[in-house]
């Protein structure tokens, strides 16, 4: 991570004559790539019209929904300790995802690659749509926000403001819609990859219930066997406990990851009846957060490459998961009706048409109120 940041710093230092500083922003503007975006945007006008119009419809729906969800989550957070809160997604020097109040630390390379593709798709969609609507692209380029990489496409704002409202809306909505498309593609590739490269290999769990057999036996690892039953899936576990029933001393086999390999462990415990269950004939051991675990199929040529994209287990996520999660989250956040965001600019266009005399005042009030809600939410998450 330090080497990467050092190389970025060296690059900007040697190119400093072409770098523009704006407060904590360092921007490198260029016209390279402008012809490509212009040609691409004007080559398939009907396709991009459908893309942009769909982006506007979905953009307003997501904007309204995320605003409602944010208010609901904030009210819930004020009345319930178990309510979720907002979190910043930042790079982490560790190899695993780290979650603390208000922050999710993503392994550095996953974060860098995800942010690069997110920005590329977001700004590229803006540029393509501007070209489709015959709005001149002045410059494009890249830069740094402190140490965070960024990119931008700068259309002619004066010309854009003179265009019809729907044309402006398509340009503003295209960026987040591009992120949603990338999120959907990433999720589908992830599902396909798991199906193609992995097979069910046991049952994982998040915790042990105090006072129950699994906790008393200090059960650890992924459950792969129970008595004479092979446990490869959630259905196998349920069927085994149905057949075994309560009050029986059983052996449970688990697999535990240790360094670069794994080892099998054996535990003995006595099943009990499930608390508050209507069917008392089923065994119960007291594990929480049960989930399906997967193992790599035999014969996969590059296991580490597969793990890099898909993740190694339900607790170790891969690049495709972060591409889905971050693109979805950033795309939705960008559509909030907050002044400088794309969502705020979209709502301002609508308000200018509906209440032209009061649109600026209404938009400013909404933006300040939303900013207060966001800060309150982060404050709740941190406490």
Dist CA 204 CA 232 (whole Å)? 10
Q: Which of 68-72, 88-92, 147-151, 353-357 has the lowest mean pLDDT?
A: 147-151
The single-letter DSSP state of residue 93 is S
Alpha carbon 76 to its chain's center: 22
pLDDT at position 118 is: 93
- pLDDT, tens digit (0-9, with 9 covering 90-100), for 341-381: 899 999 999 999 889 888 889 999 988 988 888 888 877 77
Domains located in the chain, CATH noted: 18-196+319-382 (no CATH), 207-288 (2.30.42.10)
pLDDT at position 153 is: 85
Q: What is the mean predicted confidence (pLDDT) over 179-190?
A: 96
Dist CA 297 CA 153 (whole Å)? 44
- pLDDT, tens digit (0-9, with 9 covering 90-100), for 194-226: 888 888 889 999 889 999 999 999 999 999 999
Largest CA distance in the chain: 78
Instruction: Tell me the two tokens of residue 342.
Output: 């794309």
Could you tell me if residue 88 is left (phi over 0), alpha (psi between -120 and 50 degrees) or otherwise beta? beta
Dist CA 213 CA 252 (whole Å)? 11
Is the pLDDT at 265 greater than 60? The verdict is: yes
Could you tell me if residue 108 is left (phi over 0), alpha (psi between -120 and 50 degrees) or otherwise beta? alpha
Dihedral angle, C-alpha 329, 334, 337, 343, nearest 10 °: -130
Within 13 Å of residue 348, how many CA atoms lie on the same side as its CB? 18
Q: Which single residue is written with the structure tokens 């999710």?
A: 104
pLDDT at position 314 is: 57
Q: How confident is the model at residue 313 (pLDDT cuts 50, 70, 90)?
A: low
| pTM summary value | 0.81
Dist CA 18 CA 6 (whole Å)? 19
Element (H, E) at 159: helix 157-162
Is the pLDDT at 85 greater than 70? The verdict is: no
Q: How confident is the model at residue 250 (pLDDT cuts 50, 70, 90)?
A: very high
Dist CA 219 CA 191 (whole Å)? 30
- pLDDT, tens digit (0-9, with 9 covering 90-100), for 75-84: 887 776 555 5
Contact 323, 186 (CB under 8 A): yes
The per-residue pLDDT of the chain, averaged, comes to 87
List all residues 6 or more positions away from 173 whose beta carbon is below 8 Å from its beta carbon: 52, 55, 56, 58, 59, 335, 342, 346
CB count within 10 Å of CB 20 equals 11
Contact 320, 327 (CB under 8 A): no
- pLDDT, tens digit (0-9, with 9 covering 90-100), for 137-177: 888 887 777 667 777 888 888 898 889 999 999 999 999 99
């Amino acid at each position: 991570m330090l080497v990467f940041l050092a190389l970025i710093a060296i690059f900007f230092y040697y190119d400093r004559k072409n770098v523009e500083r704006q407060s904590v922003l360092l921007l490198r503007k260029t016209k390279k790539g402008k012809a490509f975006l212009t040609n691409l945007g004007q080559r398939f006008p009907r396709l991009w019209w459908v893309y942009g119009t769909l982006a506007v419809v979905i953009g307003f729906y997501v904007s309204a929904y995320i605003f409602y969800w944010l208010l609901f989550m904030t009210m819930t957070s004020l009345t319930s300790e178990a309510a979720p809160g907002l979190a910043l997604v930042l790079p982490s020097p560790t190899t695993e995802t780290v979650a603390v109040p208000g922050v999710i630390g993503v392994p550095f390379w996953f974060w860098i690659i995800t942010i690069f593709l997110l920005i590329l798709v977001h700004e590229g969609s803006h540029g393509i749509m501007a070209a489709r609507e015959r709005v001149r692209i002045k410059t494009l380029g890249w830069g740094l926000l402190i140490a965070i990489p960024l990119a931008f496409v700068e259309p002619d704002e004066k010309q854009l403001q003179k265009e019809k409202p729907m044309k402006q809306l398509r340009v503003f909505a295209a960026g987040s819609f591009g992120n949603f498309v990338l999120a959907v593609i990433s999720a589908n590739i992830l599902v396909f990859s798991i199906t193609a490269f992995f097979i069910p290999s046991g049952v994982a769990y998040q915790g042990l219930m105090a006072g129950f057999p699994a906790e008393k036996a200090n059960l650890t690892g992924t459950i792969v066997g129970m008595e004479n039953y092979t446990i490869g899936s959630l259905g196998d576990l349920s069927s085994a406990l149905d057949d075994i029933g309560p009050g029986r001393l059983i052996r449970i086999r688990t697999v535990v990851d240790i360094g670069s390999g794994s080892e099998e462990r054996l535990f003995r415990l006595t099943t009990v009846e499930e608390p508050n269950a209507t069917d008392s004939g089923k065994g119960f051991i007291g594990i929480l957060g049960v989930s399906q675990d997967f193992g790599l199929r035999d014969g996969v040529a590059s296991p580490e490459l597969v793990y890099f994209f898909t993740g190694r287990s339900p607790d170790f996520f891969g690049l495709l998961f972060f591409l889905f999660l971050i693109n979805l989250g950033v795309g939705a956040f960008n559509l909030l009706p907050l002044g400088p965001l794309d969502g705020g600019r979209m709502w301002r266009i609508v308000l200018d048409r509906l209440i032209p005399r009061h649109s600026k005042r209404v938009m400013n009030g909404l933006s300040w109120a939303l900013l207060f809600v966001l800060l309150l939410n982060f404050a709740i998450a941190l406490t």
